[in-house]
Amino acid sequence: MSRARTFYEFFAGGGMARIGLGEAWSCAFANDFDPLKAATYRANFADAGEHLHEGDVWAVEPSRLPPRADLAWASSPCQDFSLAGSRAGLAGGRSSAFFGFWRLIQALGPAAPRIVVIENVVGLLTSHGGADFTALCRALADEGYVFGALEIDAAHFVPQSRPRVFVVASRQPPAPGLVGASPFHTRAVRQARERLPADLAARWVWWRGEAPPIRNTDLASLLEPDAAVTWHGEDRTRALLALMAPQHLARIEAAKAAGGRKVGAVFRRMRIEDGVRVQRAEVRFDGLAGCLRTPRGGSSRQTLVVVENGQVRSRLISAREGARLMGLPDGYRLPKAATGALHVIGDGVAAPVVRWLAGEILEPLLAAPRAVAAE
């Protein structure tokens, strides 16, 4: 019987990458700084006491990591992913969370994982004019990895618009069957590669990956029964509609005219209109929710509108609905408070995207015989 595939999950949150990898993978080490996320991880994984480290990644000693993991997964915080010029910051102690993780991989030396996956927002490709992405690629190259990026929207798998960048790095060159065209080589990815200096561009891999099957679920199919949720009063719904610009109100009227039941997702955002900042509510009826975020304020929590029989009702999205939009099973244990639950979910990675990456790239890479690491 072959050895189970093992992995480290840095910035693990509620363990969504672990869920996506599946039961054929064994977690050797996980870490997160957030007590609520760590508690959620413990609630969902019975073995968490054996390998979960709650605390700052900079406080983790290299000796804490079990040797010889196959994969290191890192979904580092997007808000501090500023890598340009970070060598001096690293030498001085505390720098970005990414380099707190990366120093551990460096310390492992030849025992470092064969594969590293770094997941982040699409802005990673362009921040500081591409300097941050170049710094990331330089860090990978300095440790002997070849690498490439994919921009994957979770909407291919679940009814949520959630584009993210996945940088996949390998300690050995991939077999020819893993290199080729992919629908996830977006314009932003291609331009990021073009900005790299020649020595880093030479280490680039165009990871192949087939498009997933067409998604057969929409937002409406994941919702709780109407009687099981709390709806806004008429005044609050009218106030929501009052925040809509004419083109969005027209969508509401079109949904009324179409008849039947129409479910839309609403997100509040600030817009500049005639030089003035104005809060707007924007609705979509394309079967998708907008990108889930951490609910630090009321405007960041998504609202649902249901148009039925000429009437418009509204309510906040529930925590369980948010979990379904991340591809989590209904048995996944969430924090009791909706704000806490949505905080864990909004910072996570969509589990079905991880499963796709594992099946298309990570597992085939590990199935290949070990080779001499790339020069």
CA distance 296 to 342: 10
H or E element that contains 305: strand 303-308
Provide the 8-state DSSP code for 361: I
Give the confidence band of 371 by pLDDT, cuts at 50, 70, 90.
low
Burial of 188 (0-12, 13-18, 19+ CB in 10 A): middle
CA distance 297 to 48: 31
Give the confidence band of 269 by pLDDT, cuts at 50, 70, 90.
confident
Structure tokens given for 298 = 């009321």
Per-residue CA distances from 374 to 146, 170, 179, 198 (Å): 7, 9, 16, 16
Lowest mean per-residue pLDDT among 88-92, 218-222, 247-251, 259-263: 88-92
Give the confidence band of 78 by pLDDT, cuts at 50, 70, 90.
low
pLDDT tens track for 188-245:
999 999 999 999 999 999 999 888 999 999 999 999 999 999 999 999 999 999 999 9
Q: Which of 88, 171, 82, 98 is nearest to 133 (CA)?
A: 82
Specify the pLDDT at position 49: 92
- Whether 295 has a pLDDT exceeding 80, the answer reads no
- Whether 181 has a pLDDT exceeding 70, the answer reads yes
- Determine the average pLDDT of the residues in 302-330: 96
Identity (one letter) of the amino acid at 194?
E
pTM score = 0.92
Query: Which ranges of the chain would DSSP assign to H, the alpha helix?
Result: 16-21, 35-44, 48-51, 86-91, 97-108, 131-142, 187-195, 198-201, 234-242, 246-258, 319-325, 338-346, 351-357, 363-367
CA distance 120 to 122: 7
Residues in the chain, total = 375
Specify the pLDDT at position 293: 85
- Whether 252 has a pLDDT exceeding 80, the answer reads yes
Domains and CATH numbers, the chain: 5-213+348-367 (3.40.50.150), 225-317 (no CATH)
At 308, give phi and psi (nearest 5°): -150, 130
CA distance 1 to 131: 45
CA distance 89 to 100: 11
Number of Cβ within a 10 Å radius of residue 293: 18
